[in-house]
Amino acid sequence: MNDTHNLPKITCQYLGEPLLSFADDNQHIDPKFGISNFGPKSYRPMRRHPSLVRVGFIGSAETVEVAQKWIEKSAQGVAGDEKHPAFPGYQKERGFFSELVFDRAWVGQLNRGEIEDILNIKSDRDRFEATVKLLESKLDLLSRKDQPPEYVVVTLPDKLIKKCRVADYKDSQLGETHRDLRRAFKSMAMKYRIPTQLSELETFDGRDKDHSSKIAWNFFTGLYFKAGGFPWGPIGLQPGSCYIGVSFYRPLGSTLSTMQTSLVQAFDEHGDGLVLRGHEFSWDVNKEGTKSPHLTEEQATKLVDLVLTKYQEEMGQLPKRVVVHKTSRYWPAEKNGFEQTLRKYVNQYDLVSLIPQNTVRLLISNKYPPLRNTRFTVENIDYLYTTGFIAELNQFHGMHVPSPIQIADHIGYDTPRETLLKEILILTKMNWNSSRLGGLLPITIKFSQLVGDIMREIPADREPLTNFKFYI
């Protein structure tokens, strides 16, 4: 006979799908439905609404022609099917209620000789760096126009992508080095303060296997945000709260595996945010016994001082409450630094550790995977499904069996656990570079990780831009 007295207590709770806000404060759970039926958030009232966007291009004559034709055609609208909602278009009178303008003067063309010269370079490193330099020369020319483009699409020939997408080489001082063209270009492009979109030719020429309406939704949603608009806004974030995501990366040019830099993304209750670069610190994997970096008390103090000082500069006041997200546990010194410094600025704070979990799963008896927005608790440990079956839409968003996020730490006593979990779910829906309903991680962490990839290419003597539109 089985002894059930020692089994852990398990409880389940469905938290519901968070609503989003669109034009005229209309509400819906789904970005696609909301934009199609109401228009983007910043359309009415016209807060940051880009009514006209000047679109530029960098690429060969062929790739630019293909990209522009696709954008112009898709901007008229794209039909959907039972699984893919129709794209309403990027038009002055419908969809995003914005107009795209094209001009031959806004094309930075890569001629055949320039491309062949790069392809003939033998060294992977030299070929990669020559590509970045060539793209910079074209972006520089576009930025010097009397009326420069406000958004630049970069689409390169397949053969150039194949040979120059990445570069792996051994540096005499730094050892093995990996470079990524997108990251290097984004880092360089910030100097010109023009948002960019790097897209492969297959996005525009029909080779992409995704449904055409899905491609259009993602492309134009990102375009609208990079042009200065808010596609949608969150509903349910506490007014006066600042949400901070902390991530770590190794700067390009630092000593192997020992120099880490913290990265912070701060949000307000409207979903707007700031990108910040933290201080360098030493992290020896062999000495510490883990690859996951942690801060000392002093470093945590510096980080809080940095982000809240910048927040006050940008917002004109301090937040009433601070929530810190990261994907590792809070070590004692780290915790003390965060807590002691936060108490100097705010009365309410929450330190939350969110760890994607593959070893614990919730199994249900029907044919569907677990519902997104499901919370289950094993003893006193919370798990949250941020992906899974969307009950309200009768759809499953995702390609794999969903896994939950473990709430490994929660330090703070002023916010109920349910409120924290609902905030996490809201923040999974705030990726303005995609029209997806949600993602695995809240955008605080997702953004900080994505930004870290770009930030590692930015030299220490150059101040990174604070607007996220330059990083995606």
Tokens 């940095």 found at: 306
Share of the chain above pLDDT 70, in %: 93
For residues 146 and 178, state if they share a domain: yes
For residues 176 and 196, state if they share a domain: yes
Mean pLDDT of 292-305: 92
For residues 49 and 194, state if they share a domain: yes
- For the stretch 223-278, pLDDT in tens is 999 999 999 999 999 989 999 999 988 888 666 555 567 677 777 777 788 888 88
Q: Is the distance from CB of 415 to CB of 348 less than 8 angstroms?
A: yes
pLDDT at 459 over 90: no
Name the pLDDT band for 4 (thresholds 50, 70, 90).
low
For residues 37 and 79, state if they share a domain: yes
For residues 240 and 221, state if they share a domain: no
- Domain membership of residue 90 (yes or no) is yes
What SS3 state is found at 17? coil
118 closest CA partner among 157, 179, 164, 153 = 164
CA distance 28 to 232: 10
Residue 107 confidence (pLDDT): 98
For residues 81 and 105, state if they share a domain: yes
Number of compact structural domains in the chain: 2
- Domain membership of residue 278 (yes or no) is yes
Residue 114: DSSP 8-state: H
Mean pLDDT of 28-32: 97
Residue 394 confidence (pLDDT): 80
Name the pLDDT band for 1 (thresholds 50, 70, 90).
very low
Strands 381-384 and 374-378: antiparallel
- Domain membership of residue 6 (yes or no) is no
CA distance 187 to 450: 12
For residues 279 and 409, state if they share a domain: yes
Tokens 């499953």 found at: 396
226 closest CA partner among 278, 149, 160 = 149
For residues 246 and 337, state if they share a domain: yes
- For the stretch 123-160, pLDDT in tens is 999 999 999 999 999 999 999 999 999 999 999 999 99
Q: Note if the bond before 45 is cis, omega within 30 degrees.
A: yes
Q: Please give the residue range of the domain that contains residue 201.
A: 22-226
60 closest CA partner among 109, 120, 94 = 109
For residues 221 and 281, state if they share a domain: no
DSSP 40-88: -TTTSS-SS--SEEEEEEEE-HHHHHHHHHHHHHHTT-B---SSSPPB-
- For the stretch 385-427, pLDDT in tens is 999 988 888 887 665 778 899 999 999 978 999 999 999 999 9
68 closest CA partner among 227, 231, 211, 199 = 199
- For the stretch 190-227, pLDDT in tens is 999 999 999 999 999 999 999 999 999 999 999 999 99
Mean pLDDT of 11-15: 92
- For the stretch 99-110, pLDDT in tens is 999 999 999 999
Last residue of a domain, one of 193, 226, 259: 226
- Domain membership of residue 17 (yes or no) is no
* N-to-C CA span, the chain: 58
Last residue of a domain, one of 226, 255, 288: 226
Residue 177 confidence (pLDDT): 84
| 178: β partners | 168
Mean pLDDT of 341-360: 93
Does the predicted model carry a pTM greater than 0.85?
yes
Average pLDDT value over all residues in the chain: 91
110 closest CA partner among 142, 132, 136, 135 = 135
Angle, CA of 131, 136 and 137, to the nearest 5°: 100
Q: CATH number of the domain that 462 lies in?
A: 3.30.420.10
- Domain membership of residue 217 (yes or no) is yes
Mean pLDDT of 414-443: 93
| 87: β partners | 78
Largest distance between two CA atoms of the chain: 83
Residue 425 confidence (pLDDT): 97
261 closest CA partner among 321, 304, 206, 303 = 303
Share of the chain above pLDDT 90, in %: 69
For residues 271 and 185, state if they share a domain: no
Mean pLDDT of 462-472: 90
| 388: β partners | 397
- Domain membership of residue 13 (yes or no) is no
- List Cβ neighbours of 90 (8 Å cut-off, separation of 6 or more): 74, 75, 96, 98, 100, 220, 223, 224
Last residue of a domain, one of 226, 256, 275: 226
Q: CATH number of the domain that 137 lies in?
A: 3.40.50.2300
- Domain membership of residue 10 (yes or no) is no
